[in-house]
A and B are shown apart, each in its own frame.
Chain A
Amino acid sequence: MDPRRASVLGVFAHVDTAVHAIRELRAKGFRALSTYSPVPLPEFEEALTGHGLPRSPVRLFTLVGGLTGTVSGFALTIWSALKWNLITGGKPVVSIPPFVIIAFELTILLGGLCTLLGLLVTARLPRFGGSPRYDPRFTADRFGVEVGCAAAEVAAVQEILRRAGAEEVRA
């Protein structure tokens, strides 16, 4: 890491104080903010950007996976039916209604698997090592605000976090 860069972590027991700290930091021009919380909090997302975040791109993965499933479902059934071009039971060789079922199941299957892939890619999981700032209490009942700042600004950031009501501030 760049020696001129530093990071500060504030540990909060309350959501409102943590949101307050994020707003304060943003107002002071700090942009490299991230949070840790035991539950998903729309309040944090809103405070981090000042407005809502753009929609997560995970859904694009779902869409692409789902469409791939539909196409491959029809492709597999139609192609393999044509490989044995035999009329049985007076039904057309390419009988679409039953093939819809296969295509539907593959849509869901590939859509779901691609959603998983999308989650792993966008959330950057699995993560080895992880942030050194992480505290095990963040999966229980504490909320963390991590601030990336210049080494010279550490004291100022610590002050803002403390004033906002952080239980603990670590540089």
Chain B
Amino acid sequence: MSGQSPEPARPPLSGGAPTYADVNRDVIRTLEFPSNLYFGWMSFIALTLAGGVFAWVMQIYYGIGMAGKRNPQMWAMYITTFVFWIGIGHAGTLISAILYLFRARWRTSIYRGSEAMTIFAVMTAGLFPVIHLGRMWLPYWLIPYPNDRFLWPNFRSPLLWDVFAISTYFTISAVFFYVGLIPDIAALRDASSGLKRRIYAALALGWQGSDREWRHYRRAYGLFASLATPLVVSVHSVVSWDFAMALLPGWHSTLFAPFFVDGAIFSGFAMVLVLLLPMRYYFNLYPYITEKHLDNMAKLVLVTSLVLTYFYACEGFVSWYSGEPIERASYLYKWIGTYAPWWWLQIFCNSVAPLVFFWRRARVHVLTLYIVSVLVLIGMWFERFNIIVPGLARGFYPYTFGVYVPTPVDTMIIVGSFAWFFIWFMAFIKVMPSVSIVEVKETIPHPVRDAAAAHH
């Protein structure tokens, strides 16, 4: 990544605003046959993924002890990474649904990429509860289905709420994503030939952009956005209740739901930047993803970072104000105990580093944005680690104390999860429009012959 923009591929027309035809051409251009660099990255990612799969097979064969899961550290890095990936997904829904309802027009060029990120992040997160099962071939026990033992899941368990929240989140995000893609797939269909055309034609469902189609489509799209908005808030709240409903010191707090939702959006925005900045460079999307987008994204990162810092302060205050010695000891353990370096790393990455975005020059400087975003991702992963691992390490009774040390198997599975996410995302950007053709066009003035008469 470099700080300065290369020449845009196309000389700016009429004051720099792209026309309808430009949008189609520029977006369809991103689907050209990939370069060797792309295949190089894909091979690297595929190899990493294979490593993760191998580690998982080891764990299935030899047992969950391979992953260093033993009392009291039964959750450790798997649930850390699960919460991390669910959180990543939230920014995509925020951009695609909440900013849609607020009519934030700048979202149009980045929402497709963010929404794809949501889908793939939830797909990655969804692996972890299954990986984490001692008998991973029995995940269907979580689903309420009639069985000959008349057994039903315990609906009072937060872990079951998770199953419902996350499967709903995945389904609704996937439907929303696909509905948003339909008119764009129709545009791809009309611009391609042969087998490609037939595949796109099937996926476009025969979309023709008629007045009837658009009328119902717009209404349905607004409804999806209105359903996705409360959903996204509920999902991370439910995830936080996995912890908050337990009586463990450091977990049992009403603060957790907003704390988790804010952290989720914070880390998600960082991931959007990590994905979009290279995409903008390689696909030459400079006319669409402009400085204004970077500026707005950085502002959102800054705001969510400040809110998060406030929650960190609340966490400390509440544990002191509770007057509860075990609660205080648990909190102090985070500051000066076994995992203290990771706590201070988290504070640096999440509360200190994003402060550079108070300066506008940092908000539009690509390299700074990228470095801070990566730091935020690291910080947010460690935030979940610092909730789960030190929390479990120091419970109520000294005889249940126990530290956790990562093993090669669980580390490899977690690295593999990143490969799983990136392989989907990399494949997506080469077969589907990663910038919305329709929505970008909606932000450009319509082509009119008589401009004066059009604005009556």
| Contact code string A7-20 (vs B, CB < 8 Å = 1, else 0) | 00000011111000
| Contact code string B29-52 (vs A, CB < 8 Å = 1, else 0) | 000000000000000000000000
Residues facing A in B161-190 (CB within 8 A) are 161, 164-165, 167-168, 171-172, 175-176, 179, 182-183, 186-187, 189-190
A138–B164 touching, CB < 8 Å? no
A76–B208 touching, CB < 8 Å? no
A84–B156 touching, CB < 8 Å? no
Q: Which residues of B contact A17 (CB under 8 A)?
A: 449
Q: Chain A nearest CB: distance from B200 CB in Å?
A: 11
A124–B223 touching, CB < 8 Å? no
User: Which of A48, A88, A126 contacts B205 (CB under 8 A)?
Assistant: A126
B208–A115 touching, CB < 8 Å? no
A36–B210 touching, CB < 8 Å? yes
Q: Chain B nearest CB: distance from A83 CB in Å?
A: 6
| Contact code string B204-245 (vs A, CB < 8 Å = 1, else 0) | 011111111111111110011001101100100010000000
| B450 touches A (CB below 8 Å) | yes
Between A and B, how many residue pairs show CB distances below 8 Å? 198
B210–A91 touching, CB < 8 Å? no
| Contact code string A74-114 (vs B, CB < 8 Å = 1, else 0) | 00110011011000100100010011011011101101110
| B446 touches A (CB below 8 Å) | yes
B220–A58 touching, CB < 8 Å? yes
Interchain CA distance A140-B220 in the complex, whole Å:
23
Given contacts A109-B172, A123-B213, A139-B186, contact A55 B155 (CB under 8 A): no
Interchain CA distance A1-B228 in the complex, whole Å:
43
User: Which of A36, A76, A108, A141 contacts B231 (CB under 8 A)?
Assistant: A108
B217–A40 touching, CB < 8 Å? yes
User: Which of A14, A16, A38, A102 contacts B187 (CB under 8 A)?
Assistant: A38
B164–A45 touching, CB < 8 Å? no
Q: Which residues of A contact B165 (CB under 8 A)?
A: 101, 105
Q: Chain A nearest CB: distance from B438 CB in Å?
A: 6
Given contacts A106-B168, A140-B190, contact A58 B210 (CB under 8 A): no
> A24-32, A127-135, A153-161: which lies at the B interface?
A127-135
Given contacts A34-B211, A35-B211, A116-B175, contact A123 B190 (CB under 8 A): no
Secondary structure call for the B interface:
helix
A14–B448 touching, CB < 8 Å? yes
Q: Which residues of A contact B224 (CB under 8 A)?
A: 112, 115
| B324 touches A (CB below 8 Å) | no
Interchain CA distance A62-B243 in the complex, whole Å:
33
Q: Which residues of B contact A102 (CB under 8 A)?
A: 155, 160-161, 164
Q: Which residues of B contact A109 (CB under 8 A)?
A: 167-168, 171-172
Residues facing A in B352-384 (CB within 8 A) are none
Q: How large is the interface on A (under 10, 10 to 19, 20 to 34, 35 or more residues)?
A: 35 or more
Q: In chain B, what residue has the closest Cβ to A84?
A: B152
B209–A138 touching, CB < 8 Å? yes
Given contacts A126-B206, A127-B205, A140-B24, contact A41 B214 (CB under 8 A): yes
Q: Which residues of B contact A139 (CB under 8 A)?
A: 24, 183, 186-187, 189-191, 209, 437
| A136 touches B (CB below 8 Å) | yes
Additional 16 contacts, C-beta under 8 A, given A58-B216, A98-B155, A112-B172: A14-B449, A16-B453, A17-B449, A37-B214, A38-B209, A43-B446, A56-B215, A56-B220, A80-B144, A108-B234, A116-B179, A119-B220, A120-B205, A127-B208, A131-B210, A140-B20
- A: residues with CB less than 8 A from B are 13-17, 34-41, 43-45, 48, 53, 55-56, 58-59, 62, 66, 76-77, 80-81, 83-84, 88, 91, 95, 98-99, 101-102, 104-106, 108-109, 111-113, 115-116, 118-120, 122-131, 134, 136-141, 165
* Sampled A-B contacts (27; CB under 8 Å): A13-B447, A13-B449, A34-B210, A34-B211, A36-B209, A37-B214, A56-B216, A81-B152, A83-B150, A88-B156, A99-B155, A101-B161, A101-B165, A101-B238, A105-B161, A105-B231, A112-B172, A112-B228, A115-B220, A125-B182, A125-B205, A127-B205, A131-B208, A139-B191, A139-B209, A141-B20, A141-B24
